[in-house]
Chains A and B, each alone.
Chain A
């Protein structure tokens, strides 16, 4: 291709477009809330709002972890299975008499181990992320079912099971957990060099490598963060439902990926943020919540979610093409 340099007028910087996209998402969320407030009597009740925040919280945390992986142009299909498996591990440890904090720490460490395994499969064995995490998805469910023998383990620690129902400063504790995750995640992705390396690896791993970026370590980091977020959500879910059950959180990986994509993350890598997936998760939670309030058949919720993904990603594509 021929190349000649020409003096051209300044183009709109990209950052402006990103803010525009975030505002659009927030606008969509607010529009949904206003519409549901008008359409239903029960939407703006404290009970429903805290319910909504609880519903959205767990998807939101999964979506943040998923975002790290997707920015490196990978995918983590295992997060739903890790959530279910974590409830089993935690309940099992508690049943065996392990103190609560140690049980939680061990569950999170197990998340780290699963993420490390994913990194190993991708970096050392050269497996595609889709395959290695798909394999984990199915086998973790199997291991969980083996441990519980297909049934559930009850959690008797009341302090723990009350946590998910508790409020702090009038806001559900689960939502505080989103903030607990989101703030360090934001610093990591947007303010630290490790975040920059995620983008660089997702954009062009060879260029990143030749620029001195430790590509392998970056990939390990992304999958460990995603799996650990999922294990953390498993702890929260165990608290919420009070049992350990390997079949919990079925299909949550798709919810997480959908939130991430709605939040402006590109499945081709190198494009994404922390706040986008958070908003995406709460948009999905609002749709589910609103559909329940409006007595819409729950099957329709799935269809609406699908349409929403198509519409939002399509408009995002148009926007990107337009900015060329």
Chain B
């Protein structure tokens, strides 16, 4: 075979492998959602949404974290089943109850986290579940050749024989996209695909998306990057707090309108900082170092909120865990109420009067499949026991008091914590520490995945704790939150303290600049 013939042959093969396009004429509805709804226990993750996707369009979906985007994708790809509502595919009602059904209909998704096998080659991943065989044996060479021609045809310049795990996340994402494109996909969902991509990789991806569109594939593009939405999309739908708040043609809207649709009320609208007198130092950290943080010095006084801001992985949570005795400190001193102390483990920290509401409710904060009451009482069972036996009345009374005081919306303290919404779960974590009674509260990302009403309640609770003479360390990646709440704001970068500011002494831009390092 000559080189030219070879190239021609390979091009045919690639075209044959790639998608065949839609059976529905462009511009007519391919997928219609009618009152689509999803509840998790008591939580409405997606309120009845009615959205129509037109064949061959690029339809962007935007919304803040926790707006319901992931829920929508999981519904469309059959990972979860809807609570109510109707889905029409090419005009016919469909169940979409399993991932296989979605794939069989031509609905595919490319996820932010690549869900492929890192120990297999790129080619093996592309053909996974669809291997080329002869007499029951895999045709490895042929698959690699075909995979290479697809990758070349898409202009990706990736080696088909390399292990997937040896590629960058961005390259893996391109492989995942190629895989979806090879599967006769008619409806392809991208879930924040550019989060880990370089500019060049993003450009390659956009080229591929446009090519798929030109072949009749309908694209759903989920992102919160406005510039990408305006570059790519034909239409855009906005989600907020699980509600579909509107769909616009891209030419009839602008960035500020979308942002206004997307965002929740700002901090100032739900909370006003109170003037609380600041008292004596509760905790002084002097040059603390440990796993993930180095040479951190800061002071927390009674009645003040100390904010720790930084990007994810900047060392704030690690510092909190180190202070709390979860990980050993390698250097530095901790002074508690003016006295030098040694915190060897969590129980030492608790005994001093430190409470930690950790970053991840699921992994660190709660025993999800156990009752709410047990979770609330976990730190204080010692106090609730007489001898070896727990006082049942005290146990019930303590749990019920926290449920009442924090307005945790549950029918009973016996309900497992997993059935609660994010906001109520956060209240359970907080309730644990209120009954323990601490002097220093560390709140690590307390309002992630929490609805507006609960956010306001949590802020009011901060004020109450401060008035009672406690000090608070507030860790947040949401700048307006620490900016408006903290009496003193420390900025972390790469495990170090890179800036410290009194309340409103620096601008948002200054703080963000320090955190990013520009």
Taking Cβ atoms with an 8 Å cutoff, the residues of A that contact B are 1-11, 13-15, 187-188, 191-194, 196-197, 199-200, 203-204, 206-214, 270-271, 324
Contacts and interface: CB of A to CB of B under 8 A. Distances in A.
B71 interface: yes
Interface stretch (B16-24, B84-92, B364-372, B502-510): B364-372
B241 interface: yes
Contacts of B40: 1
B451 A204 contact: no
Closest 7 CB pairs of A and B: A10-B411, A203-B367, A193-B381, A3-B422, A2-B68, A8-B42, A2-B242
Nearest to B43: A3
B290 interface: no
Contacts of B451: 3-5
A83 B86 CA distance: 60
A320 to B, nearest CB: 9
B409 A2 contact: no
A204 B390 contact: no
Given A4-B242, A7-B409, A15-B414, A200 B374 contact: yes
B415 interface: yes
B346 A193 contact: no
Contacts of A191: 388-390
B13 to A, nearest CB: 41
A280 to B, nearest CB: 21
B414 A213 contact: no
A211 B415 contact: no
Interface in B234-262: 239, 241-242
Contacts of B300: none
Given A200-B370, A210-B326, A2 B42 contact: no
Contacts of B366: 204, 207
Interface in B410-432: 411-412, 414-416, 419, 421-424, 432
Contact of B370 (A13, A187, A203): A203
Given A192-B385, A207-B367, A212-B347, A3 B432 contact: no
A197 B388 CA distance: 13
Nearest to B39: A6
A193 B356 CA distance: 21
26 contacts: A1-B70, A1-B71, A2-B66, A2-B70, A3-B423, A4-B43, A6-B39, A6-B44, A6-B421, A8-B42, A9-B411, A11-B41, A13-B411, A14-B415, A193-B382, A194-B388, A200-B378, A203-B369, A203-B370, A206-B364, A207-B364, A210-B346, A210-B364, A210-B365, A212-B350, A270-B369
Interface string B356-393: 10100001111111110010011101101100111000
B122 interface: no
Given A3-B451, A6-B43, A210 B382 contact: no
Contacts of B241: 2, 4
Contacts of B374: 196, 199-200
Interface residues of B, number: 61
Which applies to chain B's interface (DSSP): helix, strand, loop or mixed?
A: mixed
Contacts of B324: 210
B240 to A, nearest CB: 9
Given A3-B423, A207-B364, A213-B378, A13 B71 contact: no
Interface of B: 39-47, 66-68, 70-71, 239, 241-242, 324, 326, 346-347, 350, 356, 358, 363-371, 374, 377-379, 381-382, 384-385, 388-390, 409, 411-412, 414-416, 419, 421-424, 432, 449-451, 453-454
Nearest to B363: A206
B379 A211 contact: yes
B423 A5 contact: yes
Contact of A200 (B44, B46, B242, B367): B367
Nearest to B436: A212
Contacts of B46: 2
Contact of B454 (A1, A5, A11, A187): A5
Nearest to B242: A2
Contacts of B365: 207, 210
Given A5-B43, A13-B414, A271 B369 contact: yes
A210 B388 contact: no
Given A11-B419, A193-B381, A211-B378, A5 B412 contact: no
B43 A193 contact: no
B405 to A, nearest CB: 17
A4 B369 CA distance: 20
Contacts of A7: 409
A134 to B, nearest CB: 27
Contacts of A193: 381-382, 384-385, 388, 390
A214 to B, nearest CB: 7
A1 B45 contact: yes
Nearest to B382: A193
B414 to A, nearest CB: 4
Give the one of A191, A199, A210, A270 with max B CB within 10 A.
Answer: A210
B140 to A, nearest CB: 35
A1 B66 CA distance: 5
A193 B390 CA distance: 6
Contacts of B347: 212, 214
A211 B415 CA distance: 20
Contacts of A5: 42-43, 409, 421, 423-424, 451, 453-454
